[in-house]
Structure 1
Amino acid sequence: MKKRTLSLFEQYLTFWVLICMAIGVGIGYFFPIVPNILGQFEFYQVSIPTTILLWIMIYPMMLKIDFRSIKNIRKHPQGLFITWVVNWVIKPLTMYGIAKLFFFIIYNGILNKHLASEYLAGAVLLGAAPCTAMVFVWSKLTKGDSAYTLIQVATNDLIILFAYVPIVSFLLKMGNITIPWQTLFLSIILFIVCPLVLSVITRNFLVKYKGKDYLENNFIPKFDKYTMVGLLLTLIIIFSFQGEKLLAQPLSILLIAIPLIIQTLFVFAITFWAAYIAKLPYSIAAPCGMIGASNFFELAVAVAISLFGLSSGATLATVVGVLVEVPVMLFLVRVANNLQSRFS
């Protein structure tokens, strides 16, 4: 099998990501009027500017999906089972265990119990929310099967609707958890349904009147340069909203980041290994690992704010999850691509 190679831009994407995160933090700290203005363009805690940029990333990826190939999923049902078990059993439990180990035992004497409890809550909110939008970026960078990735993400979104509250309530022993349902439903509609419907219409129209060759070799490649630019601009906006908070608590950020990074690497290793043992092709195994490792941080941040408040430790923990996720996921993309030759 031909090894997946990254383009020159993708090879240094981590560097550009870190630069854009720093720019975003700087804008939020020195020019708070910018996020204040952007914050006015929100609907049920979903940022409209961020949504537009995510569409720029997601729409071209969904254009590549040949929906007739979705029937091939039945050839590799193990990929769906691995995704479900990891995201809804292994990931929440390991997040809870690793976070509790660090916040209550390893950091004992550094954190008081109240702050440790809030950090734990934020970590659990992250761990119980599998990623929706950004997974398509990671799948693209590992040349994943786009149709299979779509089904994995879509089924996870359906499971979120009835499993998220019970899992978080069970782990945190909180019976009064309220979910911002408008945020959840709107995110699914904006990041899955809308670009999917638009891509189906576009694909069918172009295939009918221009041919499949034109679609794949002329139309879709026009979007390639905009996909990563959309990612970088999204990061600038996200971190401009959190600039002051991140700079105000550097030690707390480090303390929270360590267990989150360890848990992300651990879950990726388990998922990728399980996909290898199940003899899944690399195009399915790589997205499996990426979906297992990444989080639906938009949902986690929104729930943390609604439950604990904007200035709480739980909200800070979810924000740190955003901070560490992109660089760590880019590292895992590189790891996955380097292991591609192990898959038949």
Structure 2
Amino acid sequence: MSTADGSEGVGRLSTLDRLLPVWIGLAMVAGLLLGRWVPGIGDVLSAVEVDGISLPIAVGLLVMMYPVLAKVRCDRLDTVTSDRRMLAASLVLNWVLGPALMFALAWLLLPDLPEYRTGLVIVGLARCIAMVVIWNDLACGDREAAAVLVALNSVFQVVAFAVLGWFYLEALPAWLGLEQAALDVSAWQIARSVLVFLGVPLLLGWLSRTWGERIRGREWYETAFLPRVGPWALVGLLFTIVVLFAVQGEQVTSRPLDVARIALPLLVYFALMWGGGFLLGRALSMTYERTTTLAFTAAGNNFELAIAVAIATFGVTSGQALAGVVGPLIEVPVLVGLVYVSLALRERLFPRQSPIPSVEENVR
């Protein structure tokens, strides 16, 4: 196991650390090939659902998120909720700048592709409440801050998603003389996504720490229990990626030019949102951990909700659904890369802070 510190940096990460993008890339390729070469696997995986929630993807996300949320120290959450600068910055980035930026990029780069444009707007409205916790953890961000910010995003998602969908797809285009689209989504559909992909693992993580510390003590919980369950986060991540890409593999591989057109605004979006979040955190004199958390929660999106809404409103073979599918196809490798960018920037911008744990140590 590597023990990277401020003098070693990302240049001396362990083999697992250095190859993490490779494992994720292989999982993406495996999923795409399964969806392309195994007849009917996408339909089978899509059919295994409960009340509209894809069961395989739900299982993968729960397995991925539980070990990370089990590490959260609930007794430290008050230090996050009292940080009004960070909470306000997160709300502005996620619910003001994020949707507006995606709207602008969609219209600027896809003016002739209305279905893909609408799909990207939906992706911009679905703020991340799931996979962002593992990117944040791998980048050595503040776990407690991540838990609070994704919970805050979940509340705003239930309250504001449908309203912002109406604004960016109907009202604002009408005011600007642009083509309009309609979004049919219920508050329950959004709340269900929040409950499954955030509520369940958050509750399990809280119960684990509460009961574990009460029965065996904090030292046992953090030195014996967490190292045992930690590696399952990576297992859950890779499983989720394989399943997600297998479900949509045929659609993605059969339309490469369309995927490339959709990918361009997504690449610009993720780079600007993450970079803007990191610079804002730095400007507000936040610690590295909270700056990183602010950046990743601003850049990530709730792909499961975006895909579900696009399919429910426009159909499984629609361009809007394809745009939702391409979202994680681009988001996963980009945010993995930004994990390493974060660790490199820590050495340069936050040199006086504590040594950097390796990605492997965080997974464990």
TM-score interval, smaller chain: over 0.9
Residue of structure 1 in register with 2:131 after alignment: 134
Give the distance between the partners of 1:182 and 1:10, measured in 2 at CA. 40
1:130, CA displacement in angstroms?
0.8
CA separation of 1:278 and 1:233: change in aligned 2, threshold 3 A: same
Per the alignment, residue 322 of structure 1 pairs with: 328
For 2:248, the aligned partner's letter is Q
| TM-score for the superposition, normalised by structure 1 | 0.92
Tell me whether 1:235 sits opposite 2:241 in the alignment: yes
Match 1:164 to one of 158, 161, 177: 161
From 151, 162, 165, the counterpart of 2:148: 151
Q: Select which of 42, 60, 73 maps to 1:66.
A: 73
Alpha-carbon distance in structure 2 between the residues aligned to 1:36 and 1:171: 32
Greater Cα offset, 326-335 or 54-63: 54-63
Q: Shift of residue 231 of structure 1? A: 0.7
The equivalent position to 2:206 in structure 1, one of 200, 210, 223, is: 200
1:84-99 → structure 2 map (5 Å cutoff): 84-99=91-106
For residues 93 and 206 of structure 1, what CA distance do their matches in structure 2 show?
44
Which residue among 273, 280, 284 is the counterpart of 2:279?
A: 273
SS at match of 2:184: coil
Tell whether the 8 Å contact from 2:81 to 2:148 is kept in structure 1 after alignment: no
Tell me, in whole angstroms, the C-alpha distance in 2 between the residues paired with 1:28 and 1:180. Answer: 30
Alignment counterpart, residue 302 of structure 1, candidates 308, 333, 344: 308
Q: Aligned partners of 1:301, 1:331: CA distance in 2, in Å?
A: 24
Ranges in structure 2 where 5+ consecutive residues have no aligned partner = 171-179, 354-364
Give the drift of 1:40.
2.6
Whole-Å separation in 2 of the counterparts to 1:13 and 1:95: 29
**How far, CA to CA, are the matches of 1:10 and 1:228 in structure 2?**
12
TM-aligned CA distance change 1:155 to 1:75, over 3 Å: closer
Moved more, 279-288 or 306-315: 306-315
Instruction: In structure 1, give the amino acid aligned to 2:281.
Output: A
One-letter amino acid matched to 1:133: A
Pair 1:244-2:250 in alignment: yes
Contact (CA 8 Å) 1:180, 1:306: kept in 2 or not? no
Equivalent residue pairs, number: 334
| Cα separation, 2, equivalents of 1:243 and 1:202 | 36
Is the Cα–Cα contact under 8 Å of residues 169 and 183 in structure 2 kept in the other structure? Answer: no
Structure 2 counterpart of 1:110: none
Corresponding position of 2:89: 82
Question: Counterparts of 1:18-97 in structure 2 under 5 Å?
Answer: 18-97=25-104
Distance 2:115 2:227 in 1: 45
1:256-295 correspondence runs (5 A) = 256-295=262-301
Structure 2 SS opposite 1:144 = coil
Deviation at 1:298, TM superposition (A): 0.8
One-letter identity of the residue aligned with 1:128: L
| TM-aligned CA deviation for residue 176 of structure 1 | 4.3
Task: Give the distance between the partners of 2:159 and 2:82, measured in 1 at CA.
Answer: 28
Structure 1 distance, partners of 2:126, 2:213, is 36
The correspondence for 2:20, drawn from 1, 13, 16, is 13
Mark the runs of 5 or more structure 1 residues left unpaired by the alignment. Answer: 105-112
What is the CA deviation profile of residues 239-280 of structure 1, one whole-angstrom value per residue up to 9, with x for unaligned ones? 111111011111110111011101110111111100000011
2:184 alignment partner, one of 167, 172, 178: 178
| TM-score, normalization by structure 2 | 0.87
Aligned equivalents of 1:74, 1:160: Cα separation in 2: 19
Report if the CA contact (8 A) 1:180-1:302 is conserved.
no
Separation in 1, partners of 2:186, 2:334: 28
Question: 1:67 Cα deviation (Å)?
Answer: 0.7
